[in-house]
């Protein structure tokens, strides 16, 4: 049996360009630290603009949701043999404690099962140790939910589609 081919295989490794094509990721400073078959680790640097509780200095919970949902989606993309659109069906986050004020946020996601139409993901948000998360999550994503233009893959691969100014 031949080894499985992944559509994003050329981006596996450290510091892959997996967030640079998404404007909200760029606005948040989100970067991918590592990607591999079915998994990814992302980082969002601390930014005082994203503090939701100024009294305690705790970041807005929506930032953690964004980090984990995006990590889940990227983990799914890292599981696929061909490029398909994905859409979040369900995202459950268990917040176990607030993120530590002033610290970068890390999010790790693992896509543990892909069916014809749905992908299943689990992961966590943490600071230093993945085994000591401040939040964990489970999510499902619909595969092929929308039309996915070929230009997206070209953008991910650093190519400019023909006719682009």
Q: What is the pLDDT of residue 38?
A: 97
Does residue 32 sit in helix, strand or coil?
strand
The CATH classification of domain 9-155, taken from the options 3.40.50.720, 2.40.50.140, 3.10.129.10, 3.40.50.2000: 3.10.129.10
Taking residues 22-47, what's their average pLDDT? 96
Mean pLDDT of the chain: 89
* Residues 6+ positions from 90 with CB-CB distance below 8 Å: 138, 139, 140
Share of the chain above pLDDT 90, in %: 76
Q: What is the pLDDT of residue 56?
A: 92
Q: What is the pLDDT of residue 75?
A: 98
Tokens of 53: 């509780």
Q: What is the pLDDT of residue 165?
A: 46
Query: What pTM, to 2 d.p., does this model score?
Result: 0.86
Taking residues 78-103, what's their average pLDDT? 94
Q: Quick check: 101 and 93 in contact, CB under 8 A?
A: no
Q: What is the pLDDT of residue 159?
A: 55
Q: Which helix (H) or strand (E) holds 62?
A: helix 61-77
Please give the DSSP secondary-structure letter assigned to residue 18: S
């Amino acid at each position: 049996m031949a080894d499985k081919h992944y559509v994003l295989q050329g981006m596996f490794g450290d510091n892959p360009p997996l967030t640079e094509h998404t404007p909200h990721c760029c606005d948040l400073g989100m970067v991918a630290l590592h990607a591999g078959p079915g998994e990814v680790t992302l980082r969002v640097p601390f930014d005082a603009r994203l503090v939701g509780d100024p009294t305690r200095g705790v970041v807005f919970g929506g930032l953690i949701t964004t980090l984990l949902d995006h990590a889940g989606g990227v983990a799914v993309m890292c599981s696929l043999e061909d490029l398909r659109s994905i859409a979040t069906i369900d995202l459950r986050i268990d917040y176990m404690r607030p993120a530590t004020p002033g610290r970068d946020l890390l999010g790790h996601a693992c896509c543990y099962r892909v069916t014809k139409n749905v992908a299943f993901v689990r992961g966590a948000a943490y600071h230093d140790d993945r085994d000591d998360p401040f939040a964990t999550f489970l999510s499902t994503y619909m595969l092929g939910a929308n039309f996915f233009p070929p230009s997206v893959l070209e953008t991910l691969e650093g190519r400019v589609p023909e006719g682009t100014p």
